[in-house]
Structures are given as C-alpha cells and as structure tokens.
C-alpha cells in the first residue's frame, strides 16, 4: 500500500530509486556502520519506516518557531519533490499494476486478452486509451504524500521511544525484533489512514478502457467515484480490502532486508571494498531488489484483493487469495509485474537525480519527498 506507499525522514531525490517504488536512504554510509540500519526503504507499496533509534530533539521556545517553519517548508517542498518523483514513474507504475492484476481484470471481463509483456502493455494502453492514460491514478498517489508525512511526523517520536533498541547495547536479536516492531507499528498506524488512497490509486490504474463487454467504458470516472461506488457496493470495508496482508508485508520486507544486510555485509564488504561507495551502493541496491522480489507475492495478493471490491466473487481472505491464485494460475502469477517494478527504479533514477541538482541550483539545498510509492 503501493503503495503506496511512509518515511520518518526526508531523503533526497537522488537517494530515491524508482520514483517512489523504493528508496535507499543514506545507502553508502549506512553500510559502513554496523549499527546503521540503512534508513528508510520502500518497495512494492509496502511501508518501511525508518528505524527510530536517534534521541528526541528538545527545542527552546525560540527554537520551536524556527523548527515549525522549517518543517512546513520541508513538508511543502517535499510535496513538490514527491509529485515530481511519482509523476516521473507513473507510466511504468501503471504498467506494473496492469500486468500484476490482469488476471482479475480478465475474470470480470474488464480486459479482453492478457498482456504479452511490458512492451505490449505500453503499446496497447497508448493505442486504446491515449498517452495521457499512462498517468491514470497518479493524482491519488501524489495526494497520499501529504497525510502520510503528517502522520509519520505525529507517530515517529512515540515509536522512537517505545522501540529504542541498539545493537551494541541490547544485542542483535532484541534490536532486530524492535526494528520490525517499530516499523510495523508505525507503518500500520499511518497506513490505517491512507490505505484507501492506495486502494483508489490501484483501482484507477487498473480501470482499462479496452474490454468489449464493457462497451469501451471505464468503471470509474475519477477518484471520488471510486470512493462512492465502493462504499455503495461494499461499505467502508471495501476500501480496506487487503489491509491486513499489507501490514504483514511491512514486517516481512523489513525482516528480509535487514536479515540479508547483516548476513551479506561482513561477507561482501571486506578488504578493499569496505570503504567503497560503489560496492556499498550496489550491495544495498541488490538487497533492496532481492527483498522486494521475495516479498512481491504479498503485494500481488493485497492488490488482487483490492480488485475484488465491487465484484460478485471475492476472496475470503489473504490465505484464500494465495491458494486460489496458485491453484488456478500457478505460482508465477504472484510475480507478474515484478520486472516492471525493477525497471521503474532504473528508469526514474536519472530524472530524479537531475531534479536534485535543480533544487540545489534554485534553493541551495535538496528537499526529499519522504514518501513511498
């Protein structure tokens, strides 16, 4: 939840790979420190909240005004950065969602025949719906940034103090468990409020105007229409279909990421590679993609569950969805769209890094988008 996406810090755009699909914040420096947790990774629409182990800052009355102003400026400029990063990645993001959810669309007659791949999906979407349709659902994705950041700001101090474990002081396993707990709790807390926007983004992106059975008409006319029709047919519950498995996905992704990080770092970053920026960067990138691919089936299940709201046949739960998808379509169906998910990262990196440079020229500093997907 995409989508979707929940950072406790404001990483720069050059740190953001894939326009919101995932982000390697302070990657190189994080890999040089055993106590670092490579703050803030976001992939597959799951929220990976920055490990909260730093002390809480106390401000004097005079400093509070400046801190508030600084936060507002960062918040608004971060919104611009989020809009740029998410909009740059929107076409490949929509293609990823179309490929990922095509089997649900075929079931309901909202897609005439399967996509043959990324290229075919791009070509058919442009031919049938026009070039601008590649950005369908992006508005909801951009809007999602603002409540997400506000909620993260509200939750971060609480979970920071609640799970303030450190490897050197408390031991690895206590730190690891605290890391998963803090990320899961903070992520789920924010997700509770913004999940419906991720739901709406997913439904709009998968609302293809190609099925003959539907007369070439779309199912939804826009963001508000998604809410109206879903609540009318399924109630509020319809907007939260897949929420539980999304929360599980947060913990699974974090566990995979930090587990691989601690296992591979002492093996790979040795001798001459220990202080190498590029070795650290590519190791972090590889681990991020690896953890993302391993947890991708969870993202597929949650989005496939979203697609059943408003339909006659629904999955009884995430386990039922897993079973039915594997039984009827095969395990490979759980990974549909994964290639586009990785391509999204590569395609967006240059544009986003360029925007960082533009901010430095115009404002003398970089404002991060802070949000995921």
DSSP string, 222-264: SHHHHHHHHHHHH-GGGGGTTHHHHHHHHHHHHHHHHHHHHHH
Question: Tens digit of pLDDT for each residue in 328-347?
Answer: 999 999 999 999 988 876 65
Return the CATH architecture of domain 75-363.
Alpha/alpha barrel (1.50)
Residue 121: pLDDT over 80: yes
pLDDT at residue 350 in the model? 54
126-to-113, 122, 131, 148 alpha-carbon distances in Å: 16, 6, 5, 31
Of residues 313 and 66, the one with the higher pLDDT is 313
pLDDT at residue 371 in the model? 46
For 289, residues 6+ apart whose C-beta sits below 8 A from its C-beta are 22, 342, 345
DSSP string, 129-191: H-GGGGGTTHHHHHHTHHHHHHHHHHHHHHHHHHT---HHHH-HHHHHHHHHHHHHHHHHHHH
Region 258-282 average pLDDT: 81
DSSP string, 11-45: --GGGEETTTTEE-TTHHHHHH-TT---S----TT
Residue 20: pLDDT over 80: no
C-alpha span between 124 and 91 (Å, rounded): 13
The number of C-alpha atoms within 13 Å of 323 and in the hemisphere containing its C-beta is 6
Of residues 321 and 58, the one with the higher pLDDT is 321
Joined together, the tokens standing for residue 180 give 């998963």
Of residues 362 and 332, the one with the higher pLDDT is 332
Lowest-pLDDT range of 14-28, 121-135, 222-236, 270-284 = 14-28
Q: What are phi and psi for residue 35, nearest 5 degrees?
A: -85, -10
pLDDT at residue 217 in the model? 82
Residue 71: pLDDT over 50: yes
Question: Tens digit of pLDDT for each residue in 102-116?
Answer: 999 999 888 989 999
pLDDT at residue 60 in the model? 55
C-alpha span between 140 and 298 (Å, rounded): 22
C-alpha span between 139 and 121 (Å, rounded): 21
Residue 166: pLDDT over 90: no
Confidence of residue 61 (pLDDT cuts 50, 70, 90): low
Average pLDDT, the chain: 78
pLDDT at residue 347 in the model? 56
Residue 155: pLDDT over 80: no
Residues in the chain: 373
Region 304-318 average pLDDT: 93
pLDDT at residue 13 in the model? 34
Joined together, the tokens standing for residue 251 give 């913990």
For the chain, domain boundaries: 75-363
| Contact (Cβ atoms closer than 8 angstroms) between residue 371 and residue 6 | yes
Residue 308: pLDDT over 90: yes
Candidate ranges 273-277, 291-295, 304-308; pick with highest mean pLDDT? 304-308
pLDDT at residue 55 in the model? 41
Q: What are phi and psi for residue 156, nearest 5 degrees?
A: -65, -40
């Amino acid at each position: 939840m995409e989508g979707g996406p929940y950072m406790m810090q404001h990483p720069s755009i050059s740190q953001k790979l894939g326009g919101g699909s995932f982000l390697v914040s302070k990657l190189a420096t994080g890999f040089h420190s055993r106590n670092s947790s490579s703050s803030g990774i976001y992939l597959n629409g799951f929220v990976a909240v920055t490990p909260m182990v730093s002390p809480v800052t106390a401000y004097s009355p005079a400093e509070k005004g400046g801190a508030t102003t600084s936060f507002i400026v960062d918040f608004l400029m971060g919104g611009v950065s989020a809009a740029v990063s998410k909009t740059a990645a929107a076409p490949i993001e929509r293609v990823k969602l179309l490929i990922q959810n095509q089997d649900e669309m075929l079931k309901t007659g909202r897609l005439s025949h399967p996509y043959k791949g990324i290229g075919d999906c791009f070509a058919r979407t442009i031919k049938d719906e026009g070039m601008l349709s590649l950005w369908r659902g992006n508005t909801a994705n951009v809007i999602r940034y603002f409540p997400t950041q506000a909620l993260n700001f509200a939750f971060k101090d609480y979970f920071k103090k609640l799970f303030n474990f450190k490897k050197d002081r408390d031991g690895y396993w206590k730190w690891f468990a605290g890391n998963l707990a803090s990320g899961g709790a903070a992520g789920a807390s924010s997700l509770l409020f913004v999940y419906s926007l991720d739901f709406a983004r997913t439904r709009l992106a998968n609302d293809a105007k190609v099925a003959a059975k539907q007369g070439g008409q779309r199912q939804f006319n826009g963001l508000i229409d998604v809410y109206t029709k879903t609540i009318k047919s399924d109630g509020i519950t319809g907007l939260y279909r897949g929420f539980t498995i999304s929360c599980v996905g947060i913990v699974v992704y974090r566990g995979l990421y930090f587990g691989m990080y601690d296992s591979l770092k002492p093996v790979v970053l040795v001798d001459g590679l220990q202080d190498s920026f590029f070795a650290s960067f590519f190791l972090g990138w590889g681990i991020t993609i690896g953890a993302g691919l391993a947890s991708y089936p969870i993202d597929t299940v949650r989005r496939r569950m979203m697609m059943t709201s408003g339909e006659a046949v629904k999955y009884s739960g995430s386990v039922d969805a897993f079973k039915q998808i594997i039984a009827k379509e095969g395990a490979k169906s759980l990974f549909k769209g994964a290639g586009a998910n990785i391509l999204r990262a590569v395609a967006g990196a240059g544009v986003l890094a360029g925007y960082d440079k533009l901010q430095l020229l115009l404002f003398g500093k970089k404002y991060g988008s802070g949000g995921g997907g």
